Structure 1
Amino acid sequence: MRALLSRLIVLLPALLAMACVVGTLCAAFLWSLDAVTRARFDHPWLLFLLPLGGAGIGWLYHRVGQSVEGGNNLILDEIHEPGGGVPLRMAPLVFIGTMATHLLGGSAGREGTAVQLGGSIASAAARIARLDDAGVQILLKAGISAGFGAVFGTPLAGAVFALEVLAIGRVHLPSLLACVIAGYAGDWACQAWGIHHTSYAIHYAGGWNGLLLLKATIAGALFGLASLAFAEANHVLGGWFKRHVRYGPARPFIGGLVLIALTYALGTRAYLGLGVWSADPHAPTIPGFFTGPIDGWSWALKMLFTVITLSTGFKGGEVTPLFFIGAGLGNALSGVLGGPVDLFAGLGFVAVFAGAANTPLACILMGLELFGPGPILPITLACFAAYACSGHNGIYLSQRVWRPKLLYPGVEAGVSLRAVRAARKGGVKR
């Protein structure tokens, strides 16, 4: 313990400076994201530039961004096995790519951008401070925590996410204090620039009877299957495009054409962009799922739009679309299972993410930070049920298996989810 505290004291100046820079960049990112979203609503014709914008993003990464194409997985790999570091160019590339995606109507999120901002800035800070491998690992985890905590306004969840996302069934506690400090520092720096996060609320004040808790657990299992479907669809479609469309810039060009076609086939633009708010008061949004009415299929359509967007090479993140998918599915299940709409929307909000990222503890804490302590019991049941049912799959294939899930035994400890998928398909573990 004394050695850990001594190392933290040595790292503290670099850690605080890094977290404040990351928080400031996240503030600029969130402000810009809101601006481009408003511009997209004000100028509907921008959607027709989506294929060209996608090709531009693809060309930019093809020319100067191949070393950072791995995104969040690159950061996880660097934490597991420190090597060449995370290139600083990751930060401007993902910032530009995400802004273009949202300006033109791609269905993506913001977590990936925040984590990559945190990872690239943390890696640069580690090089400047000339840290050893252990110091680099701590600072990279802290960078993830700062970015996640700042972009969602959930610093405690961000700290645990940075540790839990590395390996299924393990939270590396020695780095917890550093990640907590970075999460709160990043969130403070972001809010210091006047950034405010969307508020969500669960107003249900009834008792937690056994039947309702059972329904929450059943819903959690379904949330886990939805997260499994989302992750697998992303990997399968992304792999298909890489095999059959070899030229990188062509993939998002095709993806943009498909998204335009889907938009006009469905007659709505509700599934473009973040889905947090809309200029159309009748469009489905994440806050709207908490208040009703029951919406049976918006979650599935959002999944379709997001999978096409991300698997063809547009930039952003998966988490905010997962919030939409989860809250929308929770809204739908409240009608099927006979539960409170706001409660089930909140359960889906955190539990689908818990299953897709294999981070139930972080998502329980996110529920606590967003909704308060009232619904913590059903949130816990839903998150762990989703985690149990989502299998050894997820949105981060560089995640390692530390302890296999009980419902899916037989997986070798220490391998990556990428290797698990390869073995399942008859490939070779790596």
Structure 2
Amino acid sequence: MIKYKIFLKVLGTWILCGGVIGGIVGSTTAFLLEANDDLGHIREKNGWLIFLLPLSGLVLGYIYMKYGKVVLDNTLHNTAQLNNLVIDAVNGEKKVPQRMGPIVYLGTFITVFFGGSTGREGAAVQMGGSVAQTIINLFRIGLLDTNILMMSGISAGFGAAFGTPITGAVFGMEMSALGKLKFEALVPCLVASFTGHYITEAAWGVKHEQFIIQTLPELSFITFVKILLVSVLFSLLSITYCQLRHGIETITEKMFKKNHMIRAFVGGFIIVCLYLLVGSQDYNGRGLPMLEQAFKEEVPPFAFFAKLIFTAITLGTGFVGGEAIPLFFMGATLGNTLHSIADLPISFLAALGLIATFCGGANTPITAFLLAMEMFDGKGLEYFFIASLVSYIFSGHHGLWPSQKMYEPKSRLYSVINGETIKNIEKKKKP
């Protein structure tokens, strides 16, 4: 009888906290989505705002240098680590300062308003971590449940940001550790993700973007071979982006002695130069018009490469925002470019690229597959399953977030210690 009481108490705590986290994150994410769209529209109508991007970088850098660093339990917690700090918090190594959510929201608004190339789900995930930490402190949650509720915060943010509650629930568990899922967290993650999604859509009336697959290829051996080959290309695209983005971050931190203000100012100046070179704002902000176009008609053949450069410089020099939408853009536009070569339907290959490129960068194959099922109404189940698996394997031990831990190596060819972070694996590869 005592065991049942304990079980019900723990379950009740998970459901209650997951619901509260989902409710708060759903509301804040609705505000994030609507505000970002409005700011993006204002920038598009006032093209001169992009020339203020370097100055906005100074402001953003000052905010993170002045208010982004918090010492808790004699340990420095730097909110400029973004999703990496959230992952460290899930793994019990650090804590997410409660101020992280408001700071990253402000930083994302600044980045989007003045023309940085970024997404928005990163802010939702970090707000989720910030809200979860607040609930943990408020209800005095024990250490055993702390990491579970941190996962719930991630789930709420992702589910609300994309309108994909099932995907969000799994993403919260899969994001922090590769090859290891803590199914104990499934209930609170589900509650948080579905609540966040419901609040965002039903309560606040936010509409998410829809991408439609017009035609599926016929089921054949040749089709599967083609999907295998293009999925390898999408995984290589994700590797290229991740390596370039982290390389820029490492070089600029060393060059400017970790001065966030100077880094962002220089990054903003480079983005302005690239904008003048390209002659349009197609690769600034989220780039949704071209992303949507990739599902309907041909886009410039090197659009994926342009977005890769714009985003890697934006985020690598200290601006903030999400990386999922930029990866969606890169993958969809590369798929669009490959459709005539691969002789596959344009909307299908754009969708395949979107999912596979995200999977290779995030190292979350289950999440990627579920995202395809929710985003494209279950079409092409067999194809997306293979694409997610192939991209995950061929992307190697690389990824968007160096704090991710590798509990199960993708290949026996790699000498990886269980629990090693991607950051440490990368360091050991260098001579």
Q: TM-score, normalised by structure 2?
A: 0.94
Asked whether 1:55 is paired with 2:67, we answer: no
Aligned 1:184-195 pairs, distance under 5 A: 184-191=194-201, 192-195=203-206
Q: Which amino acid aligns with 1:225?
A: L
- 1:319-347 C-alpha deviation (Å, 9 max, x unpaired): 11000001011111112211111111000
Q: Which amino acid aligns with 2:84?
A: N
Aligned 1:331-350 pairs, distance under 5 A: 331-350=336-355
Equivalent residue number for residue 31 of structure 1: 34
Cα distance in 2, alignment partners of residues 153 and 354 from structure 1: 18
Q: Which amino acid aligns with 1:376?
A: L
Asked whether 1:376 is paired with 2:381, we answer: yes
Q: Which amino acid aligns with 1:170?
A: K
Q: Which amino acid aligns with 1:211?
A: I
Q: 1:408 to 1:30 in 2, by over 3 A?
A: farther
Equivalent residue number for residue 252 of structure 1: 264
Question: Which of 61, 78, 90 lines up with 1:79 in the alignment?
Answer: 90
Question: Which of 124, 129, 136 lines up with 2:134 in the alignment?
Answer: 124
Question: Which of 208, 228, 232 lines up with 2:243 in the alignment?
Answer: 232
> What SS does structure 1 have at the residue aligned with 2:328?
helix
Aligned 1:340-419 pairs, distance under 5 A: 340-406=345-411, 408-419=413-424
Asked whether 1:159 is paired with 2:142, we answer: no
* Cα shift at 1:276: 1.1
- 2:235, 2:357 within 8 Å by CA — same for their partners in 1? yes
Q: Which runs of 5+ in 2 are unaligned?
A: 70-77
Cα distance in 2, alignment partners of residues 4 and 286 from structure 1: 47
> What SS does structure 1 have at the residue aligned with 2:81?
coil
Asked whether 1:207 is paired with 2:207, we answer: no
Question: Which of 254, 260, 265 lines up with 1:243 in the alignment?
Answer: 254
- 1:247-305 C-alpha deviation (Å, 9 max, x unpaired): 2200110011101111111222211000113xxxxxxx111101122531100100000
* Cα shift at 1:209: 1.2
Equivalent residue number for residue 158 of structure 2: 148
Q: Which moved more, 1:202-211 or 1:123-132?
A: 202-211
* Cα shift at 1:8: 2.2
Equivalent residue number for residue 272 of structure 1: 284
RMSD across aligned C-alpha pairs, in angstroms?
1.4
Cα distance in 2, alignment partners of residues 31 and 349 from structure 1: 23
- 1:217, 1:378 within 8 Å by CA — same for their partners in 2? no
> What SS does structure 2 have at the residue aligned with 1:273?
coil
Equivalent residue number for residue 299 of structure 1: 304
- 1:299, 1:328 within 8 Å by CA — same for their partners in 2? yes
- 1:295, 1:331 within 8 Å by CA — same for their partners in 2? no
Cα distance in 1, alignment partners of residues 7 and 372 from structure 2: 30
* Cα shift at 1:82: 5.0
* Cα shift at 1:408: 4.6
Aligned 1:306-345 pairs, distance under 5 A: 306-345=311-350
Q: Which amino acid aligns with 2:356?
A: A
Cα distance in 2, alignment partners of residues 95 and 5 from structure 1: 36
Q: Which runs of 5+ in 1 are unaligned?
A: 278-284
Q: Which amino acid aligns with 2:230?
A: A
Equivalent residue number for residue 44 of structure 1: 47
- 1:383-404 C-alpha deviation (Å, 9 max, x unpaired): 1111111110100111101100
Q: Which moved more, 1:238-247 or 1:403-412?
A: 403-412
- 1:4, 1:174 within 8 Å by CA — same for their partners in 2? no
* Cα shift at 1:58: 0.5
Question: Which of 7, 11, 21 lines up with 2:10 in the alignment?
Answer: 7
Equivalent residue number for residue 422 of structure 1: 427
Asked whether 1:176 is paired with 2:179, we answer: no
> What SS does structure 1 have at the residue aligned with 2:199?
helix
> What SS does structure 2 have at the residue aligned with 1:404?
coil
Q: Which amino acid aligns with 1:194?
A: G
* Cα shift at 1:166: 1.5
Q: Which amino acid aligns with 1:35?
A: D
- 1:114, 1:151 within 8 Å by CA — same for their partners in 2? yes
Cα distance in 1, alignment partners of residues 148 and 178 from structure 2: 19
- 1:213-262 C-alpha deviation (Å, 9 max, x unpaired): 21111111111111011111111110000000122200110011101111
Q: TM-score, normalised by structure 1?
A: 0.95
Cα distance in 1, alignment partners of residues 217 and 130 from structure 2: 45
Cα distance in 2, alignment partners of residues 41 and 271 from structure 1: 12
Equivalent residue number for residue 263 of structure 1: 275
- 1:359, 1:387 within 8 Å by CA — same for their partners in 2? yes
